[in-house]
A = this chain, B = another copy of it.
């Protein structure tokens, strides 16, 4: 990468994830205007491919012109009116963030707070909804990037719908890496980011909105507080009228178009299986290194592994060394787990054995430099990745 004036990094933190050359180069395509029929055709095909990765037929499925958090902001801004009651499940930093964002929108926010590393049960949700029939929306993070927990959501939509509320799902660290299945799961509003399992640079937030949610939008009594993120106005640009709203981030949409094409070529089930296979192999490698995974296997998210920092090891020194000497980025903990964990992303083009073997080897060197003798994790990784009957 000496051709570039930026250093070469192996991005194994919780995003941005590594992207392929074809996606990077797609951004260098000549610009089109946002009202050009040739560009609108690209917007249409991006929407089609997003429907495939979301697993939905929702007409309103598109990339929001902002990073993943803009998808959260749009979801909350459009489906909360001042005084509305919402239930936010807080299993980590990104759940806390949703509660904060909802309060700013003058919502009456109920929360179910579960400890870092745990999940929320449907029984808890149902009890809360039955106690507070004023709740009109439940928001939950499917894949908590701060804890590495995969929240099961089976049966949630039915229970929530039967009590008259919508289900909003944060799928930022899920989409393209684990099954999301919007229609089958009956999720009402789902948002994500491009810089995780879709293997695309950060800058867009895919979102999908179902009919039940659109009906609620139609019934709003107050205008959406954000002009920029007004779903209905934007849907005019996406729809037949092609009415101008704001200038689309053209080059970013080229990148997403290409990243989604790559996923279609590999096949979504194969992409998801690759994430799972690499994750399980990584877990074996880390455990063989006597490292402790913070989340029990049952609820462990394939796309972000949270590893306990061993006693006596200096968190930032290890991460600085990984980055400076090996060019590998991993992240520290967030919130309650700040200083306690490392977060390793298994996402996008990083979800490959070469990346993980490099990390496993380099991390061992860094731990040894800290005076912590560590067994190798290579053989354990190989045992799972190549020797188990994956295909």
Interfacial residues, chain A to chain B (CB-CB below 8 A) = 1, 4-9, 11, 13, 15-16, 18-19, 24-25, 27-36, 38-39, 42, 65-70, 72-73, 76-77, 97, 100-101, 103-106, 193, 195, 201-203, 223-229, 244-252, 254-255, 323, 329, 331, 334
Contacts of A32 in B (CB 8 A): 6-7, 9, 11
The answer to whether B104 and A247 have CB atoms under 8 Å apart is: no
- From B34, B66, B250, give the contact of A66 (CB < 8 A): B66
The answer to whether B6 and A19 have CB atoms under 8 Å apart is: no
Mostly helix, strand, loop or mixed at chain A's interface? loop
Knowing A1-B30, A27-B251, A249-B203, the reply to whether A228 touches B36 (Cβ < 8 A) is no
Q: How far, in whole Å, are A16 and B76 apart by their CA atoms in the complex? A: 30
The answer to whether B9 and A36 have CB atoms under 8 Å apart is: yes
Q: Which residue of B lies closest to A201 (CB)?
A: B251
Q: How many copies does the complex hold?
A: 2
- From B18, B27, B31, give the contact of A28 (CB < 8 A): B27
Q: How far, in whole Å, are A31 and B195 apart by their CA atoms in the complex? A: 10
The answer to whether A227 and B16 have CB atoms under 8 Å apart is: no
CB distance from A229 to the nearest CB of B (A): 8
Closest 7 CB pairs of A and B: A203-B249, A101-B227, A27-B27, A73-B228, A69-B246, A201-B251, A202-B247
* A-B contacts besides A36-B323, A36-B329, 6 pairs, CB < 8 Å: A9-B30, A66-B228, A67-B248, A69-B227, A70-B246, A251-B252
The answer to whether B9 and A29 have CB atoms under 8 Å apart is: no
Q: Which residue of B lies closest to A33 (CB)?
A: B329
